[in-house]
Structure 1
Amino acid sequence: MYADQKASALQQPREMAKQQPSSAGAPKSSALQLAKDVFAGTCGGISVTLVGHPFDTLKVRLQTQPMDKPIYSGVIDCARKTVQWEGLGGLYKGVASPLAGQMFFRASLFGAFGSSKRWLATNADGSARPLQTADFYKAGAMTGFVAAFTEGPIDFYKSQIQVQIIRSKTNPDYKAPYTTVSACVRATLRENGARGPFQGLGATLLRNTPANAVYLGTFEVLKRAAAERMGTAPTELPAWAVLSSAGLGGIAYWVVIFPVDCIKSAMQTDTITRSQRKYTDIPTTAKLLWAEGGVRRFYKGFTPCIIRAAPANAAMLFTVDRVTAALSSK
């Protein structure tokens, strides 16, 4: 088993190496471990939101603006007009949704990631085994699937608020049905009940499962490789090594899955009235987007996304990594 046996959510769990999962202290230990995963993940989630939300706003707006009458000519123009029309606060449109949902989303994300690794590190007879390279990617895929059920509603509400300016600029008579996340929540629940927040869930699942396999798996593998080269434990890696591994993991996430993210954005920013939706399912959405511009249409908004990927994801995973290590050392 490789040397990183101290950390939990982002490192191989220590208890799996030292005791059987069925031991008397396991339930309490597992609950404490999950609490640490959640706390560390929440801290990381807040950091990635504060660093990355402006880029996310630009991405969503470029992805969803009309192709026949575009409002923004590119990422710089989008940033300029956003600030001009809405002030600096315009870059943080919809930020209340990801901030409010961080505990729930990160609880599912890093709770699932930590639990997945602990499960994969346990043989059928209950004995511990070292995690192999493929295990990190498997854990990432399982994590992405589980986390989609909390990330989907967060992204949905955020995206709905982010695109209101596009609709008002393309149609002078348009009156935004809601301008705050709380008003959007009320409107969607009133219109569609409990299913309302899960608009575009299929596309979220299709994006998150492979994307998180690449994202979290790449981060873990790069960090372990760096530790082996430096002859140290992953918990003792210098900040630049952790940040580099996290940043590259974030870039890999978006390079692999960006076209699916375009489909997800189109579905989540569609009207909440089911009978009036244009993007009714994934195949229909893909077909309509292709008709608008072929392959290039699926890469609208890629520039701000890839600019955001390294610093935002580096900030998040570095925060999670260090908080987890600090909690596990106590």
Structure 2
Amino acid sequence: MPAVPETQTLAAAPPASGLAKFAKDSFAGTVGGIAVTMVGHPFDTVKVRLQTQPSANPIYSGAIDCVRKTLQWEGVGGLYKGVTSPLAGQMFFRATLFSAFGASKRWLGTNADGSTRALETLDFFKAGFITGAAAAFTEAPIDFYKSQIQVQILRSRADPTYKAPYTSVVDCVKATLRHSGAKGPFQGLSATLLRNAPANAIYLGSFEVLKQKAAAWKGCEVKDLSAPIVMAAGGTGGILYWLAIFPVDVIKSAMMTDSIDPAQRRFPSIPSTARSLWAEGGLARFYRGFSPCILRAAPANAVMLFTVDRMLHLLG
């Protein structure tokens, strides 16, 4: 496959220590992660609630009804339920995501003799795949705690006698550790890995390739691309991410919002979860919450990837 000229070529870059590169990738990723959380969390709350509401007696008739009832029952704060977990975890998750992506690109662009080469188109997708697998181990606990808090309202509305075992992320952490110890926060890790590796190959790979193609078309360097072009590439990458793996995300949400007590779980594994969800509603069951998710994909990822891209350029 022909090489795609990368304007930030490894050969042209000034020498920098591994620690300095990690720090730059981590800082840029953290800033981008905070931006995407503030923009996208309300959409995520709606998505998770639609994905996990009961099939027999659903609480919400659709995305708009979910937003209306959330505002009615919980106010604006309801749309940000569980936001503490992703905000607190952005430093670790985004540091892993973008430092792994940067390291993967550098590794793929280094020959066996230590010389560097221009990355080929496929290399960007390979780097995204590696990145997604690595980042799953930091993203899974963040998603788990966020999801557990987001669905408390579903359980209380479905059962008036239900008493929430925890109302904050801190309470949820304590309860999880009591039941399952250190492995508790990794409930749903297998589904996160199954989602993240291929999804990030498409997401980050397409973002990089679209920027390269746009720069070649405009006759400029990637760093000189306008904000609308970079944001369009980020938004497109986000949409492709969800189009590729949404059913897997539904499985992940079911596993992560299941009981934290292993003895009471309905969804202990990916195969058993897939069978149970199929029995609830066939193929359509795997696309609950798709509309708010796809509406979120373009603006949230456009903001995040643009922020990260520009921060990396500013940091050199």
TM-score (norm 1): 0.93
2:7 to 4, 25, 30: 4
| Cα-to-partner distance string for 1:156-175 (whole Å, 9 max, x where unaligned) | 00000000000000011100
Per-residue deviation at 1:191? 1.1
Report if aligned partners of 2:190, 2:270 keep a CA contact under 8 Å in 1: yes
Q: Counterpart of 1:118?
A: 106
Q: What does 1:1-330 align with in structure 2 at a 5 Å threshold?
A: 2-5=5-8, 14=9, 16-18=10-12, 29-328=17-316
% identical equivalent positions:
67
| Cα-to-partner distance string for 1:281-327 (whole Å, 9 max, x where unaligned) | 00000000000111000000000000000000000000000000000
Deviating beyond 2 angstroms after TM superposition, the runs of 4 or more aligned structure 1 residues are none
- Counterpart amino acid of 1:17? A
Per-residue deviation at 1:3? 4.9
In the alignment, the residues of structure 2 paired with residue 3 and residue 44 of structure 1 have an alpha-carbon distance, to the nearest angstrom, of 22
Q: Which runs of 5+ in 1 are unaligned?
A: 6-13, 20-24
Question: SS where residue 185 of structure 1 aligns?
Answer: helix
| Cα-to-partner distance string for 1:116-147 (whole Å, 9 max, x where unaligned) | 00000001111101100000000000000000
Per-residue deviation at 1:29? 1.6
In the alignment, the residues of structure 1 paired with residue 230 and residue 177 of structure 2 have an alpha-carbon distance, to the nearest angstrom, of 41
In the alignment, the residues of structure 2 paired with residue 318 and residue 69 of structure 1 have an alpha-carbon distance, to the nearest angstrom, of 41
Per-residue deviation at 1:58? 0.0
| Cα-to-partner distance string for 1:55-93 (whole Å, 9 max, x where unaligned) | 000000000000110000000000000000000000000
Report if aligned partners of 2:29, 2:95 keep a CA contact under 8 Å in 1: yes
Report if aligned partners of 2:127, 2:201 keep a CA contact under 8 Å in 1: yes
Question: SS where residue 309 of structure 1 aligns?
Answer: helix
Question: SS where residue 287 of structure 2 aligns?
Answer: coil
- Counterpart amino acid of 2:267? Y
- Counterpart amino acid of 1:59? K
| Cα-to-partner distance string for 1:203-254 (whole Å, 9 max, x where unaligned) | 0000000000000001001111000000000100000000000000000000
Question: SS where residue 312 of structure 2 aligns?
Answer: helix
TM-score (norm 2): 0.97
In the alignment, the residues of structure 2 paired with residue 255 and residue 261 of structure 1 have an alpha-carbon distance, to the nearest angstrom, of 11
In the alignment, the residues of structure 2 paired with residue 33 and residue 281 of structure 1 have an alpha-carbon distance, to the nearest angstrom, of 38
Report if aligned partners of 2:6, 2:212 keep a CA contact under 8 Å in 1: no
Report if aligned partners of 2:191, 2:252 keep a CA contact under 8 Å in 1: yes
Report if aligned partners of 2:6, 2:118 keep a CA contact under 8 Å in 1: no
Report if aligned partners of 2:258, 2:266 keep a CA contact under 8 Å in 1: yes
- Counterpart amino acid of 1:185? V
- Counterpart amino acid of 1:31? L
